């Protein structure tokens, strides 16, 4: 009953004694149960048979926890996503770029997208930059005006 109460209170259980702790969530934070199948489909199967959600899904599960460790994890995961996007967006198809930027978009990844040979991808990146600039983002404003970044 103590385990049941603990899982009810925290919505997860941590398994120790492995190479690293394994958190098993009853209901991951900030993730709707209806999204679980899609998240599992995007997850990476590890050699030990566990599914590791992709970084953007892990970020979602760490939002609003109020824990310093989760904030540090989010910053790290964003840097992983940023590096991946910077590598993929310069050659991505319009469909791939659209899917990527629908999930994660910021000025740092839009600069490499502007190098894409497809005009439609470059225009998609520009539309994101214009949206960010209109919301007051100084980095996007500088990029659109051809100025050096602040």
Residue pLDDT, tens place only, 125-135: 999 999 999 99
Helix boundaries (H) for 89-137: 94-103, 107-113, 119-134
pTM for this predicted structure: 0.77
Q: Which residues contact 129 (CB under 8 A, 6 or more apart)?
A: 107, 110, 140, 143, 144
Range 64-82 average pLDDT: 91
Q: Which residues contact 83 (CB under 8 A, 6 or more apart)?
A: none
Which of 93, 23, 34 is closest to 62 using CA atoms? Answer: 23
Q: Which residues contact 114 (CB under 8 A, 6 or more apart)?
A: 122, 125, 126
Range 103-128 average pLDDT: 97
Instruction: Specify if 27 maps to a domain.
Output: yes
Instruction: Specify if 6 maps to a domain.
Output: yes
Instruction: Specify if 75 maps to a domain.
Output: no
> 14-31 pLDDT, tens per residue?
777 767 776 766 666 667
Instruction: Specify if 12 maps to a domain.
Output: yes
Domain extent, residue 34, equals 1-52
Instruction: Specify if 83 maps to a domain.
Output: no
Please determine, for residue 108, whether its predicted confidence score (pLDDT) is greater than 70: yes
Instruction: Specify if 58 maps to a domain.
Output: no
Structural domains of the chain, count: 2
Instruction: Specify if 25 maps to a domain.
Output: yes
């Amino acid at each position: 009953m103590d385990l049941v109460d603990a899982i009810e209170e925290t919505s997860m259980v941590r398994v120790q004694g492995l190479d690293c702790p394994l958190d098993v969530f009853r209901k991951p934070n900030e993730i709707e149960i209806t999204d679980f199948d899609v998240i599992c489909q995007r997850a990476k199967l590890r050699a030990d048979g566990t599914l590791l959600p992709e970084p953007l899904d892990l970020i979602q599960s760490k939002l609003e926890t109020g824990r310093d460790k989760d904030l540090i994890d989010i910053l790290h995961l964003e840097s992983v996503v940023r590096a991946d996007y910077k590598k993929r967006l310069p050659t991505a198809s319009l469909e791939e770029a659209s899917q990527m930027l629908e999930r994660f978009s910021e000025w740092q990844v839009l600069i490499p997208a502007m190098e894409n040979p497809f005009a439609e991808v470059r225009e998609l990146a520009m539309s994101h930059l214009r949206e960010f600039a209109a919301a007051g983002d100084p980095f996007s404003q500088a990029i659109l005006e051809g100025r050096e970044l602040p």
